[in-house]
Amino acid sequence: MKELFSFGPIHIYFFGLMIAIAAIIGGAFAIKQGEKRGINEDIIFNLIIIVVISGVLGARLFYILFYNPSFYFSNPGEIFKINEGGLSIHGGIVSAVLAGYIYSIKSKISFLKLADIAVVGIALAQGIGRVGCDVFGKPMANIMLWGINYNGQILHPAQVYEFILDYILFMVLWRRSYKKKFEGELFAIYLIAFAIIRGIVEFFRINPVIWGPFSISHLLSFALVIIGLAIYTMLSKRAGGNDRIYVEGNKLKLITSIIILTALIVISILIFYFVQG
């Protein structure tokens, strides 16, 4: 991980800093959206803490089980060295969903309502967090201007591809939140869209392949798409084609969406290349 600065024994890393910023901004956005939907701030704040902790644990567990199980089973001490990398976003999503579901039951609040609020902030946080990631992509076959020089090789900035797509997903979910047709719609769309995003970006990354150009991550993304489609179909049928449950007069205007999206992308690109380039 790229170190930005240190105070004696305290080291501040770029990835860690961006994860912290992502959690704060994404969490604040989710809290604001929750208030509009009548959900107490404390409920959303507790959900954020649960999602972050369970997400990290699940991401580590999935990485160990699906990406390099033989190494970690032979070297169990390495399991706890999260600072050296080794997280699976798919595992983070699965564990966060399960933990969020348990929390919703204990809080006696609709899981789907909470999930629809959370995923918008999560998409934003994932985009911001990815800016600090230092897991670059494959070497470029044809050198492009946006390639990143790493150890003498020009690599695909896979992080840039992903945070741009994450921001687009964030904006789609945010705009859709003002006119969704049923509880759980945003949650299902997020599962499907984010899995597709990871599948696209994975073609530019290096991970253990299982067949042809397809990796373990592609397999996990495919499973997530199937789950998302099943959830969407089931909830849509249950809603029975009812009219939109949210139609707000002060919905997000298209021009405002474009400005915010452009600002997020431009600022993130500048920060990424300033630090990593």
Burial 201-217 (b: 16+ CB within 10 A, else e): bbbbbeeeeeeeebbbb
pLDDT tens column, 23-60: 999 999 999 999 988 898 999 999 999 999 999 899 88
Q: What mean pLDDT do residues 132-154 have? A: 89
Phi, psi of 10 (to 5 degrees): -90, 120
pLDDT tens column, 161-208: 999 999 999 999 999 999 898 999 999 999 999 999 999 999 998 877
Q: Where are the domains of the chain?
A: 13-276
Q: What angle do CA 269, 161, 47 make, to 5 degrees?
A: 85
Torsion of the alpha carbons at 215, 216, 218 and 224, rounded to the nearest 10: 180
Torsion of the alpha carbons at 130, 118, 258 and 266, rounded to the nearest 10: -20
Strands (E), 43-200: 148-150, 153-155
pLDDT tens column, 222-277: 999 999 999 999 999 888 755 566 555 567 889 999 999 999 999 999 999 999 87
Instruction: With H, G, I as helix, E, B as strand and everything else as coil, classify residue 153.
Output: strand
Quote the pTM value.
0.91
Least trusted range by pLDDT, from 10-14, 83-87, 150-154, 156-160:
83-87
Least trusted range by pLDDT, from 81-85, 137-141, 240-244, 263-267:
240-244
Quick one: pLDDT band at residue 119, thresholds 50, 70, 90?
very high
End-to-end CA distance of the chain: 14
